[in-house]
Structure 1
């Protein structure tokens, strides 16, 4: 049979490529294609595809109810995982996801919103509780393990505002799927050590607010 066409994104080069839309039909894709510019024109379709088919678990629904009943709720995501355990990834993120970044992010909201409450999410929530000392009202969301991470994503998107974790696709989607029209989303200035390839302006929507690390 006829060989399928194949298009692979270069590792580390995650900027927007306009030629993507010129690829022939039935091309097999491999990569992140991690720019909102690829799908901004079908935003409603993307949001529909990210809707859970099953209800939230009881513990997650309880948190969702807290968020809905709260005032100025802010999700705050701390990515650990491979940025700690993998030497290559660790070198990419050195000096970006710092304690200072999260303090500055919290301060950004506390100076602009009335008594914001921060819902904290992480793949290493125990470490965050022990090591990340932040001011303000914090609610650590710690009931979902790796098999229920998608529920954390939903909960992040239900908050009114969001603090993202650099190049974390997880917190990126949590913020992107937030449908609050007046949301404030905070991001790092740099994505990671590969910014010369990554083109942060392709990755982060222009209205997201830069907070220094």
Structure 2
């Protein structure tokens, strides 16, 4: 290993939203402190439920920071020998290196405070704008709604159905309140809803959207169907105008990647992000410009 550089890495785990927090946190520390980021390369995560990684797709521009990059002398096995820093708590806590040479972050690090000062640099590294432009072109039929503002609505059900003590399901009341918050500042007649969900959840989501359609009679609800991949879906979400997100990091990044000025977008999130089984303090998770919506669940 090149001892002239100081290396920071992390254990990659969870789905795309979780992985992004881990990767952005590593870059946040590296860019602010003059360290070199290095990530373990694999096509699947190895901790817990196996999930895809994105080094060949959404995050292909970061491949050069992985152990699979040509000329890299650090292996995945070597990364495991780095001193490991476990996440102290769910709230933001400044990272203090365990070693003057190298260390490994282990945790979820779900706070924008870890990278907000350098986020534009990281956005440029992953070519966020260019990838958004590509998605806008590919899915122009969904995004071109005769000049109307598009409200992104994300439903997170899936495995949450069986673990609601940790991850509660958002009901129609939450989405109703979120839409009303948006329409307190935006003309409803100038909006459409583009909603996102997993295919396996379409029956349950259909019930929710039917309830919402009954409350907002003149509001058009459009399903974002036939999107090629989850990461393209996240980018498509980021190209909308306003947001009612679910309680998931996938939802969070879909809204966070939107680069419009804060004053031109309304982002709503549920007051209950976790259930009683995960009593985390989420105060450092949401930017102050976002709107907390009380949910009765």
After TM superposition, the score normalised by the length of structure 2 is 0.60
Pick aligned residue for 2:267 from 185, 190, 199: 185
Per the alignment, residue 47 of structure 1 pairs with 123
Normalized against structure 1, the TM-score is what?
0.82
**1:135-154 superposed Cα distances (whole Å, 9 cap, x missing partner):** 22211101126xx0111111
Q: Which residue of 2 aligns with 1:111?
A: 184
Give ranges in structure 2 of 5+ residues lacking alignment.
Answer: 2-77
Rounded Cα–Cα distance in structure 2 between residues aligned with 1:160 and 1:83: 27
Structure 1 contact 163–187 (Cα < 8 Å) conserved:
yes
The CA distance in 2 between the partners of 1:44 and 1:58, in whole Å, is 23
Match of 1:9 in 2: 87
Structure 2: distance between partners of 1:201 and 1:178: 21
For this pair of structures, how many residues does the alignment match? 201
Higher relative contact order (CA 8 A, sep 6+): 1
Cα RMSD, aligned residues only: 2.7
The 5 Å alignment of 1:155-174 reads: 155-166=236-247, 168-174=248-254
Partner of 1:101: 174
Structure showing greater radius of gyration is: 2
Distance 1:78 1:169 in 2: 12
Give the conservation status (yes or no) of the 8 Å contact 2:97–2:103.
no
Alignment of 1:35-114 (within 5 A): 35-48=111-124, 49=126, 51=128, 52=131, 55-56=134-135, 60-64=139-143, 66=144, 70-84=147-161, 87=162, 89-94=163-168, 97-114=170-187
After superposition, residues 112-151 of structure 1 pair within 5 angstroms as: 112-114=185-187, 115=189, 116-124=191-199, 126-132=202-208, 133-134=211-212, 135=216, 136-144=219-227, 148-151=229-232
Q: CA 1:129 to 1:149, structure 2 compared with 1: closer, same or farther past 3 Å?
A: same
Aligned residue for 1:156, secondary structure, equals helix
Quick check: 1:162–1:175 contact (8 Å CA) kept in 2? yes
- For the structure 1 residues 80 and 50, does the alpha-carbon distance in structure 2 shift closer, same or farther, using more than 3 Å as the test? farther
Distance 1:50 1:104 in 2: 35
Where does residue 28 of structure 2 map in the other structure?
Answer: none
Change (3 A) 1:112 1:58: closer
Which stretch shows the higher mean deviation, 196-205 or 45-54?
A: 45-54
Q: Which runs of 5+ in 1 are unaligned?
A: none
* Pair 62,32 (structure 1): closer, same or farther in 2 beyond 3 Å: same
